[in-house]
């Protein structure tokens, strides 16, 4: 038994993935949630929302980026995009998303402030609060 999952990559490409072959429905029910969680953590987003969630797409959730900042804690770097209504705390950005946008070499000690960048973000289960930036695009 296999499951097919269609997602949008952090770069905006539509991709169809397939889980490994498993011998039982029970085993599939154990694997599938972990597989989905890993995809979300890597910046992939579902092509369609489950019926229990609002039907808003990621493209409905965006803001013009004023700056990208980092917090350094030991050897870990935590990135945030700030702009629009998210000036104070920003929205979390994973390194994979920065790399996909060509921003993988940012200096964490210096905010990135070039204009024209738009952040698209996924929302939490409440359908309102931002969860994370899933991709960046250059605006006009």
Tens of pLDDT along 36-76?
888 888 888 877 654 444 434 455 789 999 999 999 999 99
Domains in the chain: boundaries: 4-46, 58-138
Task: Select from 34, 36, 37 the least CA-distant residue to 6.
Answer: 36
pTM of the model: 0.58
pLDDT of residue 138: 87
Q: Output the six-digit token pair for 101.
A: 């946008």
Contact 43, 10 (CB under 8 A): yes
| pLDDT above 70: percentage of residues in the chain | 91
Nearest partner of 43 among 120, 126, 114, judged by Cα: 120
Burial class (CB in 10 A: 0-12, 13-18, 19+), 31: middle
pLDDT per residue as tens digits for the range 80-108: 999 999 999 999 999 999 999 999 999 99
80-88 long-range contacts, CB within 8 A, separation 24+: 81/119, 81/133, 81/136, 83/119, 86/130
Question: Of the given ranges (32-36, 67-71, 108-112, 131-135), which has the lowest mean pLDDT?
Answer: 32-36
Average pLDDT, the chain: 84
d(CA 92, CA 89): 9
What average pLDDT does the segment 104-130 reach? Answer: 91
> From residue 25, how far is each of 3, 29, 30, 84 by CA, in Å?
10, 6, 9, 45
* Residues facing residue 77 across a β-bridge: 72
């Amino acid at each position: 038994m296999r499951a097919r999952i269609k997602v949008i990559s952090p770069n905006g490409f539509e991709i169809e993935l397939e889980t490994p072959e498993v011998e039982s429905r029970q085993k599939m029910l154990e694997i599938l949630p972990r597989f989905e969680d890993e995809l979300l953590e890597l910046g992939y987003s579902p092509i369609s929302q489950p019926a229990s969630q609002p039907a808003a797409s990621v493209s409905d959730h965006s803001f013009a980026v004023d700056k990208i900042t980092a917090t350094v804690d030991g050897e870990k770097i935590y990135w945030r995009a700030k702009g629009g209504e998210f000036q104070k705390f920003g929205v979390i950005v994973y390194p994979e998303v920065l790399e996909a946008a060509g921003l993988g070499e940012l200096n964490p000690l210096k905010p990135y402030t070039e204009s024209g960048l738009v952040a698209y973000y996924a929302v939490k289960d409440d359908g309102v609060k931002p969860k994370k930036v899933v991709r960046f695009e250059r605006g006009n």
